[in-house]
Each structure stands twice: as structure tokens, then as C-alpha cells.
Amino acid sequence: MNILIKNITNLVTCSGGYPKTKDLLKEAGVIEKGYVFIKEDIIEAVGSCDEYKKYLKEADVVIDGKGKTVTPGLIDSHTHLVYAGSREKELPLKLQNMKYIDILNAGGGILSTVRNTRAASLVELKRESKKRLDLMLLHGTTTAESKSGYGLNFKDEIKILETNKSLNKIHPIDIISTYLGAHAIPEEFKDNRDGYISLMIDEIIPYIKRNNLAEFADCFCEEGVFTVEESRRILSSAKDLGLKIKLHVDEVESIGGAELAGELKATSAEHLVAASDEGIKALAENGVVAVLLPTTSFYLMLGKFARARKMIEEGVAVALATDCNPGTSPTESLQTTMTFACFGLKMLPAEIINAMTINAACAIGREKEIGSIEVGKKADIAIFNANNLDYLIYHFGVNAIDTVIKNGILVVQNGKLVYEHSRIYR
């Protein structure tokens, strides 16, 4: 099927090279009165004004873009999509100022989600996670990274990664799989940290690599969770086996996580709220993408946000993601992330959209295929009910999505899911 989107009031292409750093991050490649012609699953032409007319004959569907802002499909480059249960019962503890790490160390937090996730079957996990994927799609996300980390043993970590694989087959959203066994020390290894680390290094990571169950390995390097030395050991072994590297670092305290991300030449370092000046330099010097998660800072009531402006100034490639998870960021909506990126991180609308499209593609190693509206790229496109990009970010707390196109297929129309009626994906 071929789709023509014509008369687009604000076409935000996010084209112009990658990763976008410094002043380039402010360039969103906006075309007024633009058009996009999609042939099958690929973007065939992009331009402005009446030039679209030459594609009318070939188009099976013509969409009028008047009053719309059209962007690349949003890319959520950091999520904990697959889990069971929820954690609303922690709200009073949070409001009594009980610290996140203290809730975790008392057997709550991540460990409570681990208990629920271990008890759930693959079918149940798939059903629950598919609902979240549907919500993501309804809010404009067309690709999502998905981390394991609520199994914390061989069987249940593999169950989560198999859930990713299985969801990728049935859902329009493309899933990039990450192994985050180093998310917490499981209760049964409380007095034997090294035993758990050896289990990951000697058994779980080699199995994942052999069975191609994850593209990335991640580690929660934080005071009270995994030390810098432990994180280095775990991630170096994953890297030696050919996995790419991500790190949760400096979410609450800085223990040198960003510096480690630079040293390991990780693809991305994520959170970075407490990242030091040296850590930020290490990211810039080593081309590590900083994935910032402002909804998490808000939800943890940290009273501060990552130093996005400093990172941008220093030449770090900044991406934005939801961190969708049951503890610190229970949301599927990158539009919510837009709000907190603007008012928390002080990022401009053009910077925000680049950070959740082309720079997010860099954070998952997909920059050649997705993340911008350019000829030859995959036809992943979000159409918003907004006259311009500034309005999209200014009018907050509502879902502005009108239409979503994934791989050249209409999957959301008039703000409603339609993909079940179109076709099976892979």
C-alpha cells in the first residue's frame, strides 16, 4: 500500500545528520506545507507545496495534513516493558519520604515486582505487556527498547526475553531487547553477591548470546545496588561475548557510573541525574548517548533533574525516554516525557523531538533505518493534532495523536488502534 500525506502544516523531519549535538540539536528540519510519500514500507519522497501532486496517482490512501504536526514515529529507547503487577501501594511510603533504595533494600521496590513477575507465566506477561505496547503505540511510539530485570534468575530472565521476542512477532512496535539481570541482587543471593554475578557471567549471558535473546546488556550501577567494579565485570564479560552495552548510572547518587560508561564505550548511559562534570566529559569524548528520563526524576521526587543543558553544551548526544516501569515511571507516553523534558530539563521543543527520534535511534543502534523522515528510511510516522511543534509540547496532559503509521501501515487512525484489523506483522 502507498500512502501520501499532503498539505502538512508542520512537517518535522528531524533530518540533517546524527547524532545531533550542541546547536544541531535545535535543528528539527521543519518543512511548512510539507508532504511525505510512502511506498510500501519505505519513505519514497519528502517535499513541500504542490509537488505532492505527482504522487497522487500512485497513492492508495491520501491523508490531509492540514492542522497537523507530523514527526518521525517516536522511539522509546529505555523501558522496562515486561513485568507483572503494579506498585501503587508504595505511594504512602514515598510520601513519607522513604528513600527508593531503602524500599528496595527492605524487599519492596524492584524485588516486589520480581516476586510478581516470577509468579506469572509467559502468556500472562505477554498479555499484560501487550496492553502497555498498545498504549505506547496510541501515544505515537513506533519502536521501543525493552529490558529484562524482574526475573533475576536463569528461568525468569529468559522468560522475559522470550516475551520480548514473542511480542515483537505480534505487535507493530519493533522491540529492541536488553538483558538487565544486574538490576538488583535477588533475595536468595542476598548474602552471596558474587554467586549471583558469577551466575550471570558464566551461565545466563552466554545462553542469551547463543540464543540471540538480547542485543544489549545493561547494569544498574548505583550506590546500594551494583558497584562500579561489579558493573565493569558484568558488562565487560557481556561485551566480550559481542553484546552491546547500556548502563543505568547516577540515577540518585554519583559513584562514577558515567565515567564507567565512557571507559566501556557503551552505546548509552541512562538517567545521569547526579552525573559529575568528569562523567559528562567522558560521555562526550567517547560518543556515549545520554538517555535522560525526566519523568523518573519527577516520580522519585528527587527535587532535581539531569543537567541536560550542560550535557548539550559539552557535546553529549542527548536522547529522551519514558523509563516505563512499575516503580519509578509508570507511564507509556513519550508525550508525558515531552512535558518534563521541557519544564524539568529545560529543553526546547526542537531539541525534545530530536531527542526522542533520531538521537533515540542512535541510543539503540538504529539510526540508519529510523528516527527521521528522509528518503529511504522506514515509514514510521506520527501525526499529531497540533498546528506546530511548540503547541504539541505546550498543550500538556492530553494525547495529541491522530494517526500512526508503522512500516508503511496505518496502525492508529483518529486516535484509535486499527492494527488488529490490518495484518499480522512478522
- Contact status: 220 vs ligand NIG (CB under 6 A): yes
- Contact status: 328 vs ligand NIG (CB under 6 A): yes
- Contact status: 246 vs ligand NIG (CB under 6 A): no
Size of the site for ligand NIG (CB under 6 A): 13
| Stretch of residues binding ligand NIG (CB under 6 A), selected from 17-25, 154-162, 326-334, 366-374 | 326-334
220 binds, among Fe ion, ligand NIG, none (CB under 5 to 8 A by kind): ligand NIG
- Toward ligand NIG, which CB reaches closer, 65 or 294? 294
251 binds, among Fe ion, ligand NIG, none (CB under 5 to 8 A by kind): ligand NIG
Residue type, 89: K
E strand or H helix at 335: helix 334-343
E strand or H helix at 313: helix 308-313
Minimum distance of ligand NIG from residue 151's CB (angstroms): 13
Can you list the positions of beta strands (E) in 194-347?
216-221, 244-249, 268-271, 289-292, 318-320
Percentages helix, strand, coil for the chain (3-state, rounded to 5) are 40, 25, 40
Is 391 flagged in the annotation as binding?
Answer: no
DSSP 188: G
Is 183 flagged in the annotation as binding?
Answer: yes
- Contact status: 326 vs ligand NIG (CB under 6 A): yes
CA dihedral 324, 330, 333, 335 (to 10 degrees): -110
Q: Could you say which of 13, 71, 254, 325 contacts ligand NIG (CB under 6 A)?
A: 325
Minimum distance of ligand NIG from residue 153's CB (angstroms): 17
Chain residues 75-104 in contact with ligand NIG, contact rule CB under 6 A? 80
Q: Are residues 145 and 362 in contact, defined by beta-carbon separation less than 8 angstroms?
A: no
| Stretch of residues binding ligand NIG (CB under 6 A), selected from 107-115, 162-170, 190-198, 259-267 | 107-115
Minimum distance of Fe ion from residue 267's CB (angstroms): 15
Q: Could you say which of 15, 77, 79, 113 contacts ligand NIG (CB under 6 A)?
A: 113
The Cα 374–Cα 43 span in angstroms is: 7
Q: Could you say which of 34, 73, 109, 186 contacts ligand NIG (CB under 6 A)?
A: 109
CA distances from 11 to 49, 75, 388 (A): 11, 17, 9
The Cα 351–Cα 312 span in angstroms is: 10
Is 171 flagged in the annotation as binding?
Answer: no
CA dihedral 205, 211, 215, 218 (to 10 degrees): -20
Is 80 flagged in the annotation as binding?
Answer: yes
Is 87 flagged in the annotation as binding?
Answer: yes
Packing angle between helix 110-119 and helix 154-170, nearest 10 degrees?
70
At CB < 8 A and 24+ separation, what contacts does 204-211 make?
A: 204/154, 204/157, 204/158, 204/179, 205/179, 205/181, 205/234, 205/237, 205/238, 205/241, 205/243, 206/241, 207/154, 207/158, 208/158, 208/161, 208/179, 208/243, 209/241, 209/242, 209/243
CA distances from 63 to 28, 37, 375, 380, 412 (A): 22, 10, 19, 15, 13
- Contact status: 250 vs Fe ion (CB under 5 A): no
Residue listed under C-alpha cell 552525573 = 275
- C-alpha closest to that of 200 among 256, 328, 214: 214
- Contact status: 403 vs ligand NIG (CB under 6 A): no
- Toward ligand NIG, which CB reaches closer, 82 or 389? 82
Is 328 flagged in the annotation as binding?
Answer: yes
Q: Three cell numbers at 369?
A: 533505518
- Contact status: 76 vs Fe ion (CB under 5 A): no
- Contact status: 185 vs ligand NIG (CB under 6 A): no
Minimum distance of ligand NIG from residue 331's CB (angstroms): 12
- Contact status: 323 vs Fe ion (CB under 5 A): yes
- Contact status: 323 vs ligand NIG (CB under 6 A): yes
- Toward Fe ion, which CB reaches closer, 134 or 145? 145
Binding-site positions for Zn(2+) read: 78, 80, 248, 323
Residues that bind Fe ion (CB under 5 A): 323
Binding-site positions for Fe(3+) read: 78, 80, 248, 323
Residues that bind ligand NIG (CB under 6 A): 80, 109-110, 113, 220, 248, 251, 296, 323, 325-328
